[in-house]
Amino acid sequence: MKQTAVTPVVLGLLALGARSGYDIKSVVDRSTRFFWAASYGQIYPELRRLEAEGLVCGEDAPNGGRGRRVYELTDAGRQALEDWLLGPTTTIEYRDESLLRLFFADALPREQALGVLQARKRGHEEYLDVLKAIDSRPGTDPDFVDLVLRWGIDFNEWGRQWCQQQLRRLKRLKAA
């Protein structure tokens, strides 16, 4: 099976139940986008490709006047997901535009560069608000979904604190 960046997301979400491309994008926006985003422009072609490869099967299920196709994993798709989950290689790769901006912030005047760091702190605070809202909703998530939510909360709490510490440190350096 050829794998793209969104293959694991699509197969994983379909393992939890039948979904349309729209449904997959909605779940991604409330869950994995904090560490693994997927756009409509990636999801729909991936669903068509996976269906052509026999890893998912789709069925037309119009919703009102809108065309809609709902997909389910096939046995081959479930096996492909399991192979990926148990695969020998785990790559930790993190794309963070805010961190890239910090890396190049020396190109700005000092106060504007500090503003980039302040914006990152606000970003962590906003993510924390979203993740805590997810955490406070009724019901329970499966154990490992909850585990990833805990990681997100802890990571963003640490990120907020780190930004605050670095803002204080950089302001002290300027004063010295």
CB atoms within 10 A of CB 65: 5
How confident is the prediction for the chain on average, in pLDDT? 93
Instruction: Kindly tell me if the per-residue pLDDT of 1 is higher than 80.
Output: no
Q: Which two tokens stand for residue 51?
A: 């269906």
Residue ranges matching CATH 1.20.58 in the chain: 97-175
Q: Which two tokens stand for residue 36?
A: 């693994």
pLDDT digits 0-9 by tens, 120-140: 999 999 999 999 999 999 888
Residue ranges matching CATH 1.10.10.10 in the chain: 7-85
Q: Using a pLDDT cut of 90, give the percent of the chain over it.
A: 78
Q: Which CATH architecture has domain 97-175?
A: Up-down Bundle (1.20)
Closest CA to 4 of 58, 84, 68: 84
Residue whose structure tokens are 């350096």 = 173
- Tell me the pLDDT band of 87, cut-offs 50, 70 and 90: very high
The third-level CATH classification (topology) of the domain covering 7-85 is Arc Repressor Mutant, subunit A (1.10.10)
